Amino acid sequence: MLYPFMTLNDNTEIVHSELLEKDNKKQVKVCIEKPVYGGFHSAVCYLPDYSWEDIQGFSPEEIHYFQELLESLSHVIIELAQDGGIEGGLENAASF
């Protein structure tokens, strides 16, 4: 399942998975999708390694921007992934 995280001013959507286990490593899949005329630009990044794959349409400069954005927010995304997305994080916060 993917959870909404952020929508940028240009309508780029950033969503993330729950905490995944792959090759005995915990990771979070982050998907970035931007609507463009005739379709979408998209990319996938796995945290905490910042390994990128399936880059479609984004320039190296755009990926660099997203890399820096994810580096500044990865701790939040990983915490939300552990709690079941932003809704789960808000529910858990409300129970304090």
Higher pLDDT, 90 or 69: 69
pLDDT at residue 96 tops 70: no
User: What is the structure's pLDDT at 86?
Assistant: 61
**What pLDDT is stored for residue 92 in this prediction?**
41
**pLDDT tens sequence across 8-41:** 999 999 999 999 987 788 999 999 999 999 999 9
Q: Tens digits of per-residue pLDDT, 50-64?
A: 999 999 999 999 999
Full DSSP string of 11-27: --EEEEE--EEETTEEE
pTM of the model: 0.83
Q: Are 54 and 46 in contact (CB under 8 A)?
A: no
